[in-house]
Structure 1
Amino acid sequence: MKNIVWIAGMPRSGTNWIGQIFASHPSVRYKLCPLFSYEFKNALDEHSSAAAWSALLQATYDTRSDYLDQDYLRRDALIPDFPEREDAPPLLAIKSTRYHHLLPCLLDLVPNAQVIGIVRDPRATIHSWLANPLEFPANADPNAEWRSGNCRKTAVGEYWGFDDWKSVTSLYLDLARRYPKRFHLARYEQWVQTPAAYTARMLEALGLTLHPQTETFLQASRVEHSSHPRAVFKHPSVTTRWAGRLDPTISAAIVAELEGTPLASFLS
């Protein structure tokens, strides 16, 4: 392991698909967030040292488990298997929708780490969450929960709802200013529109080039579709279908609150 990239985003912001893009590259060892795993649950916090970060990242690289390596999803064919793989990939990629408050610590304490912060239109993000039976509790009221997301927060590091979208996206903008060469702000809708070019640009920032196995995955993800909430092969309409399905009062409230702020630029 020579370098690390932490792929961050709010839940339902496209992190699963973008994560698999990196997983498809032979020079990448891809893992889910270790801080949410059985092996390393909440192993770090805001007070952890650089040595602790280094030890956790190396252990994540070395440890194989059902969760960290997404074997539980692969068994159900919800994610693809990528047979071409280097024995010791130089880049560790970690995907997380949690623990955003630790990103400044990661960038401060781990000099060979970079972060990709994925932002999706908040209306699409909120709709995707409210409409997902695996993520939104069946007994919860969408009109009471869309802003706070409290019904889904059960542990440290959880981020749900519009208020969290605002705080996380504001953090990303700040980190992009503070670390212009190490924090890469990614817009989900643009990545979907031009997947090969966007992927090539992100890989180049990490010292990699677009690989044929990754190109094959990108092509397949545009023609193979699954309705399963955890599948990565989604119909291209995923970027726009919220417009006819999200409660208009919620949509209007989001637009009104962001109007005139830097966050308004993420309204697609």
Structure 2
Amino acid sequence: MQKIVWIAGMPRSGTNWIGQIFASHPSVRYKLCPLFSYEFKNALNEHSTADEWSALLQDTYDTRSEYLDQDYLRRDALVPHFPERDATPSILAIKSTRYHHLLPHLLDLVPNAHVIGIVRDPRAAIHSWLSNPLEFPAGADPSTEWRSGRCRKTAPGEYWGFEDWKAVALLYLNLAQRYPNRFHLAHYEKWVCTPIACTTSVLDTLGLTLHSQTETFLRESQVEHKDHPRAVFKHPSVTSRWTASLDPAISTAIVAELEGTPLASFLS
């Protein structure tokens, strides 16, 4: 493999959909985060060496498993099957909503690594989490948990709630400055509105051209709609659905806290 692409974002920020955009390209081998897999659970930390990173990434590229390859989602047609595939894809793409604190180490220690940092309007991301029965614990109080996300943090590397959203967004802004050629900041709402342009732009930085299989997925993923929280087929209206159902007190608090800060740019 010639390049690594780490697709990162807070939970409920569109990482599944954007991840499938990369999965659709024949020159990309796509995996879920190895650090959350049975095979490589928590295999790296902030003290890991360049050789350890290199070994894990190669092992991830070489290993096929139920979780890493999303077989459990594909069986339920929540993610598509892409038949066109290079025999030995030149790029390994990894999707993760965890372990954001390791991204500076990845970029420092792996020279051929790129990171796509996806940021969604925090009001939309928080609403998507609070309204998702697969992610928000039954019995937890949204009015107290939306900020800390404490009720959902059960393992190392977990990021949930508005405080974590702020920390991750600030980290991404910092990494975009430090690594302007290898950290690519992505606004989820913009990608939904202009999918071909955003996809083409990022693929170009990786030395890839837009493939017909990717174009087909982009078109079909925004026409067909599945309500399942893990489905990647969603109508573009998902970007504004929160406006009618997010608790106004939460929305107002988020806007008030971000106004006048660099993070206000993520308010759609």
TM-score higher than 0.5: yes
Per the alignment, residue 89 of structure 1 pairs with 89
The alignment partner of 2:148 has SS state of coil
Per the alignment, residue 67 of structure 2 pairs with 67
**One-letter code aligned to 2:95:** K
Per the alignment, residue 173 of structure 2 pairs with 173
- For residues 74 and 160 of structure 1, what CA distance do their matches in structure 2 show? 26
**One-letter code aligned to 1:205:** T
Per the alignment, residue 240 of structure 1 pairs with 240
Per the alignment, residue 58 of structure 2 pairs with 58
Shift of 1:26: 0.1
Per the alignment, residue 11 of structure 2 pairs with 11
Shift of 1:235: 1.6
Q: Which runs of 5+ in 1 are unaligned?
A: none
Shift of 1:222: 1.5
TM-score (ref. length: structure 1): 1.00
Q: Describe how 1:12-27 pairs up with structure 2 within 5 A.
A: 12-27=12-27
The alignment partner of 1:140 has SS state of coil
1:123 correspondence with 2:112? no
**One-letter code aligned to 1:166:** K
- For residues 25 and 148 of structure 2, what CA distance do their matches in structure 1 show? 37
**Backbone CA RMSD of aligned residues:** 0.4
1:111 correspondence with 2:111? yes
- For residues 205 and 9 of structure 2, what CA distance do their matches in structure 1 show? 18
- For residues 207 and 148 of structure 1, what CA distance do their matches in structure 2 show? 40
**One-letter code aligned to 2:45:** D
- For residues 72-106 of structure 1, the C-alpha deviation after alignment (integer angstroms, 9 at most, x for no partner) is 00011110000000010000000000000000000
**One-letter code aligned to 1:57:** L
Q: Describe how 1:138-157 pairs up with structure 2 within 5 A.
A: 138-157=138-157
- For residues 257 and 111 of structure 1, what CA distance do their matches in structure 2 show? 36
- For residues 151-198 of structure 1, the C-alpha deviation after alignment (integer angstroms, 9 at most, x for no partner) is 000010000000000000000000000000000000000000010111
Shift of 1:107: 0.2
Per the alignment, residue 266 of structure 2 pairs with 266
- For residues 235 and 246 of structure 1, what CA distance do their matches in structure 2 show? 19
Shift of 1:126: 0.1
**One-letter code aligned to 2:248:** P
- For residues 222 and 235 of structure 2, what CA distance do their matches in structure 1 show? 7
- For residues 219 and 251 of structure 1, what CA distance do their matches in structure 2 show? 31
- For residues 259 and 194 of structure 1, what CA distance do their matches in structure 2 show? 26
- For residues 223 and 237 of structure 1, what CA distance do their matches in structure 2 show? 11
Per the alignment, residue 134 of structure 2 pairs with 134
- For residues 131 and 234 of structure 1, what CA distance do their matches in structure 2 show? 16
Shift of 1:139: 0.9
**One-letter code aligned to 1:215:** E
- For residues 33-78 of structure 1, the C-alpha deviation after alignment (integer angstroms, 9 at most, x for no partner) is 0000000000000000000000000000000000000000001111
- For residues 253 and 23 of structure 1, what CA distance do their matches in structure 2 show? 37
